[in-house]
Amino acid sequence: MPSPYRAIFAAPGSKAFSAAGFLGRMPLSMMGVGIVVMISQLSGRYGLAGALSATLALSAAAVGPQVSRLVDRHGQGRVLRPAALIAVGAVGGLLVCAQQGAPDWTLFVFAAGAGCVPSVGAMVRARWAALYRGRPRELHTAYSWESIADEVCFIFGPIISIGLSTSWFPEAGPLLAALFLLMGVFWLTAQRATEPVPHPREEHSGGSPLRSRGLRVLVAAFVATGAIFGGVDVVTVAFAEEQGNKAAASLVLAVYALGSCLAGAVFGLLHVRGEPARRWLLGVCVMAVSMIPLLLAGNLLFLAVALFVAGLSVAPTMVTTMALVEAHVPRTKLTEGMTWTSTGLAVGVALGSSAAGWAVDAAGAGAGYAVPVAAGALAAAVAFPGYRRLARPAPTQGGRGADGRSDEHGIKSADEERVA
């Protein structure tokens, strides 16, 4: 392991909570695509499959920030375990109903219930933020490491989920995803020494972190970014099926994540300088442009190469986003603020997967790649005018400003002052 990464893991407990977070995040890459494959295997209806995946994502988007708000107030240990049990129970109901051919409405009810899944990635990043607060170099490396972990999940998660559902039984992928969630959450919450200190209700003045104009820009851009990811997932499964090798979709999607993983690993080694908002804007625009070659894909090999190149911009953009969230959100609401970006991503995945499913049913997989292309254009359209809000220094309570300097006086963010 390169020295910057080795250094961050010198802190006691850091290896254990990062490993638990990795296991708990596997469902992020397995559940949505697993539902798509399961429903398409059982019914052949990509429209229904995409709609169920969208329902799951929208439910997670609605419930996730509320779970994280409770975590900020009461601690991870008291909140995450009940939330995970509810989500796993709902997944079980969804699998039973799908296997038994129950009416469609029952599938949507359980898919909505499964959205109670907590944002494990935000929980782990909150632990890193508490561990290395005021040390931007170490925190940059830690966020880069977690982005690598995210992408490793996206490399192996679809392979496992699609592979099991196509070669064993249709429900196998989502079932294993639920087990990963349960094990990861219980392992993470058992580690009390590194759990961030909760902040009681009286410390949560000022309302939602969405009062921050900078955070609103990030969330809006992530809605469009999520539509890219959701569209690519659904259309790639359909494209591989049209090419006569549906199981290969997992490998192609893994190549997409591999590009992001490699870029994130290199990015974490760099001592980045300059304005984070400018790096973020560049990353969003590159992601948008990288979707255009997908429209030209005529075979799986070309598609895999195009997705690998597209993936190179993903992890650096995500790392920079987390740094901007920390700069624009008060420390007492950091977990909720990070979850709001995940929420935006989930809403986008829902919209993208649903739109892509209908596009595939209506015009075929080749035309379906117009969905992520349009989503990329929308992300760039949000990023350009929003850049000015993110570029303004916004020191947080007890945290860091956008320039990475510590805020020793604990003042409110500039965004909060403007809307107070």
Amino acid at 261: C
Q: Rounded CA gap, 183 and 172, in Å?
A: 17
pLDDT band at 414 (very low <50, low <70, confident <90, very high): very low
More confident residue, 277 or 22: 22
pLDDT tens-place string over residues 52-94: 877 887 788 788 888 888 888 888 888 899 999 999 999 999 9
Q: Rounded CA gap, 310 and 322, in Å?
A: 20
Q: Tell which residue, 127, 73, 133, 132, has the closest CA to residue 395.
A: 133
Are the C-beta atoms of 329 and 396 separated by less than 8 Å? yes
The pLDDT of residue 48: 84
Are the C-beta atoms of 228 and 291 separated by less than 8 Å? yes
**Residue ranges of domains in the chain, CATH in brackets:** 13-191+208-404 (1.20.1250.20)
More confident residue, 153 or 208: 153
Q: Which residue has the tokens 């601690």?
A: 75
The pLDDT of residue 287: 93
More confident residue, 41 or 286: 286
pLDDT band at 200 (very low <50, low <70, confident <90, very high): low
The pLDDT of residue 2: 54
The pLDDT of residue 187: 94
**Residue 39 DSSP one-character state:** H
Q: Half-sphere exposure (CA, 13 Å, Cβ side) for 301?
A: 0
pLDDT tens-place string over residues 162-187: 788 888 888 888 899 999 999 999 99
pLDDT band at 398 (very low <50, low <70, confident <90, very high): very low
Q: What does the pLDDT average to over 375-403?
A: 70
pLDDT tens-place string over residues 90-122: 999 999 998 888 888 999 999 988 888 888 888
